[in-house]
């Protein structure tokens, strides 16, 4: 095999010529340092810029600590942000998807590390994205301990990016929440979502933007704002609200309503033999859900297994604690209501042809008013 002779006067290959701007990356890090610092907790040692983030668990503060970890992303909601050229809110979605999974077991979020892959690194754009992450961390009470920004020329379009993060929380071993605590007769209380949150956007985009041919910058009367603003409403971060409820009441468990919908996610935290019966008549889903259902002729079954339908988090607790829990949530400005109750599973709850579930079960009855 022969090789063509090298041309000493030909073009010289370099990382920059391949599409990676190292200097832009360094400028981006400088912009991100104050954002991370704004989320700091006393346990954080040093700042970003090292090879690892350091977080000291103070001895004596915990009796039998258990660490909880969660990893998630934002999904195709990012396509809406990129199309609208609005990048300062999706970071809050990222934090919410991670920390609100952590708090389900009763864990306090301690810190988060993010990963941003981007086609072309523009420091100002990266700063906007991470500003949303930092704001989310402040709302959740956790530290942004560091992360990674990777430029991927030739793999991603210049204006495209993807986000993910891993968070770590802590809970006392005897304070962990979960299915083993749930009892027949417990009450299910709903916490309102802020909209679609970060799930179901592949269907929402297909219905509204492709089938409905709606414009992101078009005003929608039902929303009182543009379609883009409605779709990019940040996911509500419940972590501190849930911890406040857990501190005041005998919480059995929480359930974070994400992909799969309300019933599927609630069933994950119920033990075998118990069913949560939920009442649709107790709330009216926000107009965005009605619009998607109508424009796409989406069935109720498909809507409920794709979207949160207006319920972003639920708490299961004894009936005697309901009023106190709702008072705490009201003080936190989180709309809440009694959604249903837990009871023993009956033959009527089983699906013909399916084996009995190893986990619990959740069903919805009735019809939403005005939906």
Where do the domains of the chain lie, and which CATH numbers do they carry?
22-48+63-175 (3.30.1330.10), 179-365 (3.90.650.10)
The pLDDT value given to residue 355: 46
Q: Rounded to an integer, what distance in angstroms lies between the CA atom of residue 269 and that of residue 369? A: 28
The pLDDT value given to residue 55: 87
Q: Specify which residues 146 forms β-bridges with.
A: 113
Nearest by Cα to 234 from 49, 350, 86, 44: 86
Q: Tens-of-pLDDT digits for all 371 residues of the chain?
A: 555 566 666 666 645 655 655 565 567 567 667 776 777 888 888 776 678 888 888 767 889 999 999 999 999 999 999 999 999 999 999 999 999 999 999 999 999 999 999 999 888 999 999 999 999 999 999 999 989 999 998 899 999 999 999 999 999 999 999 999 999 999 999 999 999 999 999 999 999 999 999 999 999 999 999 999 999 999 999 999 999 999 999 999 999 999 999 999 999 999 999 999 999 999 999 999 999 999 999 999 999 999 999 999 999 999 999 999 999 999 999 999 999 999 998 877 765 555 445 578 999 999 998 77
The pLDDT value given to residue 20: 56
Q: How far is CA 44 from CA 39, 47, 108, 148, 241, in A?
A: 10, 8, 15, 18, 23
In this structure, the chain runs to a length of 371
The pLDDT value given to residue 82: 96
């Amino acid at each position: 095999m022969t090789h063509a002779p090298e041309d000493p006067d030909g073009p010289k290959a370099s990382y920059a010529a391949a599409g990676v701007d190292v200097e832009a990356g360094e400028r981006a890090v400088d912009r991100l340092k104050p954002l991370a610092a704004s989320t700091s907790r006393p346990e954080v040692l040093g700042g970003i810029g090292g090879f690892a983030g350091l977080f000291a668990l103070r001895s004596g503060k915990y009796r039998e600590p258990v660490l909880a970890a969660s990893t998630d992303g934002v999904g195709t909601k990012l396509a809406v942000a990129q199309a609208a050229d609005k990048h300062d809110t999706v970071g809050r979605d990222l934090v919410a998807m991670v920390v609100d999974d952590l708090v389900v077991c009763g864990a306090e979020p301690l810190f988060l590390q993010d990963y941003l892959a981007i086609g072309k690194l523009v420091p100002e754009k990266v700063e906007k994205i991470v500003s949303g992450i930092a704001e989310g961390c402040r709302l959740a009470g956790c530290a942004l301990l560091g992360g990674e920004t990777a430029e991927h020329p030739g793999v991603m379009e210049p204006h495209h990016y993807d986000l993910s993060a891993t968070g770590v929380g802590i809970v006392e071993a005897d304070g962990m929440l979960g299915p083993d605590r749930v009892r027949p007769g417990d009450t299910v209380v709903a916490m309102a979502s802020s909209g679609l949150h970060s799930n179901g956007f592949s269907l929402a985009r297909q219905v509204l933007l492709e089938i409905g041919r709606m414009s992101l910058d078009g005003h929608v009367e039902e929303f009182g704002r543009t379609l883009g603003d409605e779709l990019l409403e940040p996911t509500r971060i419940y972590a501190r609200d849930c911890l406040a409820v857990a501190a005041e009441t005998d919480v059995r468990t929480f359930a974070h309503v994400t992909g799969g919908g309300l019933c599927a996610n609630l069933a994950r935290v119920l033990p075998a033999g118990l069913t949560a019966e939920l009442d649709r008549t107790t709330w009216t889903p926000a107009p965005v859900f009605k619009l998607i259902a109508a424009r796409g002729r989406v069935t109720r079954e498909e809507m409920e297994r794709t979207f949160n339908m207006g319920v972003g988090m639920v708490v299961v607790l004894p009936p005697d604690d309901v009023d106190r829990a709702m008072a705490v949530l009201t003080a936190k400005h989180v709309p809440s209501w009694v959604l249903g109750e837990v009871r023993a599973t009956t033959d009527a709850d089983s699906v013909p042809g399916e084996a009995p579930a190893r986990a619990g079960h959740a069903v919805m009855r009735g019809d939403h008013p005005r939906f």
